[in-house]
Each structure stands twice: as C-alpha cells, then as structure tokens.
Amino acid sequence: MAQTQPTDALSPKHAYRTLSSRYYWSPEIFEKEKTAILYRHWHYAGHISQFAAPGDYLTLRIGDEHLIVMRGDDGDLRGFFNVCRHRAHRLLENSGNVKAIVCPYHAWTYNRQGELRYARGTDAMPDFELEKHCLSCFKVEVFCSFVFVNLDTNAISLAEQAGDLAEDLKLRVPFLDQLKPILTDTGRPTRIDANWKVVMDNFLECYHCPKGHPAFADMIDMDSFENETFGIWSRQSAPIVNPNNSAYRFSEDAPLQDANFWFLWPTLAMGYLPGEKIFFATAILPDGVDKTYRYGHWYVVDDTPLPGDFNNYVNTVIVPEDIELCESVQQGLISQSYEDGPFVVDPDQLGISEHAVQQFHGLVRDALGNI
C-alpha cells in the first residue's frame, strides 16, 4: 500500500492565499466542479451493515446524478444510476429491500444485478434486446466498512488513493469494526445556504473555535490541538480534553478522552467527540452553487442511543453555530470588496493553523486546472 507522509504546511505546491471568491459563487466554476470533482472522485454512501441481504439498497444524489447502491443475488455490491433505460423515470426512493427493480412509470423490471428482465410490449419488436438495456453502472468500494461510490468507471481504488488512512482510523478508532449506523433521523439539519467548499473550509480548521464554538473550546485544550495533512486526507486531533465543560459532561472514565476529525477528499468529514463511542460520517455535497446538502450518519456500538445532552449540544448548539458562520461567509464572498484572503498557517501545525484548508484548496486547484 502506498505510504503517505505529512504534507509540508508551507509547501509552494499550495498557494499562500485562499481560493478566489468566484470559486464560491460562479455557475461556470460550479459546472466544472461537477465534471472534474464530483463525478471523478470517491464519495461516502453508507455502511456495509446496510446491505446485509440481497436486494438491500440505498439511494443518494451526487450533483445532478441520482444513484442506487444495492446488494445483488450473487452477494456483490453494485452501483446503478437511478434512471430507467426506457424514458428516464427514477426507479427507487430512500432505502429498503426489493425483490426486483420495477420502474413506477411503465413497469420495466430489472433484477438485482441491474439486468432488464421484462419490458411490456417489446415482444413484438424483433430488434429489441433486453440485454442491451441494463441499468448503467458506476464503481462501488467498501473501505473500513464504509461504502463509497465513484461515477468514474476508470477510477483508481480508494484504498490505493487513501494511503495510510485505513491504518490511522483503525489505530485511533479501535472500535471501528463494531460501529453500526443510526438510521433514524437524529434532527440534524441537512441543507445550508452556502457553497459546499465554505462548509468544508469551516470543518477543516479550529481557528474559529474559541470565538465561534466557546463551549467546544472549553471542552478541549486548544494549545494541544493538532493538524496534519496527508495526500488526499487530513486529521485534526485534540489529545487533551476537559470532562467538566460547558458543552456536555462526560465521565473521566468514558472510553473517549480525546477528539479526532478526518477529511477525505473531496467531500467526506468524519470523526468523534469526547465521551462515549459515537462516530459520525458526513458527505458535504453541493445542492447548487450556493447551497450545501449534508448526507451522513451517526454511528454507535451495540445500538446505544445518543446521550441526551450530547445530542442536544450537537443539534441545538454546535451545528447551528457552524451554519450561521458558513452562511455569513457565503454572503461576504459575493461582496465586490473581497477577492481572497491569507492563510493563517502555524509551522507547528497547532490549533490556530489553517493548513488543512490550504491543502483542500490546493486539491481543488489541481482538479479544476487553470480557470
């Protein structure tokens, strides 16, 4: 497996200034992002436990593309575009289990491998061949028990691209293999009135935490907060925490006495907060040039419910704080007075540093080329 070394925070490969403001509001740049980023890279879809039996499926959307991930009768996970090959009607909604994929429009019927098995009225068409009208496919990969999708059928595997991320996750999340997603709505908002990169920028630094999240900053030691970047991923870590804080209380004997947050290019944010064995994985996806759709799950061990004070803090405090920050930034980005800004980069890669944002902007520039 390819080894990944920490990225030099001051490397000339990455610009010392942020992306130009037009990257956050230009329809032309957004269209290029769809083809160069959204449709060519790996995105989080769910967890392997959601596909226990043949016919288990989930649906999701990446850009303009509606997608299905399903376990076939042969046990393989497959990705299908959620589009009937007849007249383009959407085939499935939400998640569940089906014996066959039946189009709600004209009842064209596909098996669980995506092969067309019935199309009413085509028997009288001598040139019609069922096998030429199978569902269009894309790539699916299981990585650390999470399911990822990639619309580029020539894409290199995520395991190869991600380098040492799997080892890092297993080292810092020893209960990773025990996690199962909570599939009921936990109350988190799913849409933000800001470009998806604004939301990811915000996730990738804690420079804003003392002012923007005072309760969170009371829970962790900002002087010990660390940032590291590796290839196409990064990690933020808070190895010292305060159990008696103003966010939510947890025992000094709780299993998690630190906090870790990971980014995986281009859209995945995941990690855990101090306290119980609770993990999150969220895809930060564009819902238009100036709106973001957050798709993801909370993960727990042994179906343990989210603690009430933890759930309350996440849903009524820190998430609303982040949404307000991101939406304000989006409004500022359209001002004629703003073009770009300097990165605050700490050579020691501690809490105030924005070099994980710098890495992300470099990856965006590399993907889009000279625009």
Say if pTM beats, i.e. exceeds, 0.75. yes
- The Cα–Cα gap between 3 and 351 comes to 25
Residue by residue, pLDDT tens for the chain (371 residues) are 344 444 444 444 446 899 999 999 999 999 999 999 999 999 999 999 999 999 999 999 999 999 999 999 999 999 999 999 999 999 999 999 999 999 999 999 999 999 999 999 999 999 999 999 999 999 999 999 999 999 999 999 999 999 999 999 999 999 999 999 998 765 455 799 999 999 999 999 999 999 999 999 999 998 889 999 999 999 999 988 999 999 999 999 999 999 999 999 999 999 999 999 999 999 999 999 999 999 999 999 998 899 999 999 999 999 999 999 999 999 999 999 999 999 998 777 667 899 999 999 999 999 999 78
Q: Tell me if 344 sits within 8 A of 207, measured CB to CB.
A: yes
Domains identified in the chain and CATH numbers: 21-41+160-368 (3.90.380.10), 44-150 (2.102.10.10)
3-state helix, strand, coil in the chain (%, to 5): 30, 25, 45
Query: What distance lies between CA 345 and its chain's CA centroid?
Result: 25
Tally the residues of the chain.
371
The terminus-to-terminus CA distance of the chain in angstroms comes to 34
Q: Determine the residue type at 57.
A: Y
Q: Which residues contact 57 (CB under 8 A, 6 or more apart)?
A: 51, 68, 69, 70, 71, 92, 95, 96, 97, 98
Query: Helix (H, G, I), strand (E, B), or coil: what is residue 115?
Result: coil
Q: Determine the residue type at 115.
A: E
Ordered strands of the 109-110 beta sheet: 101-102, 109-110, 116-118
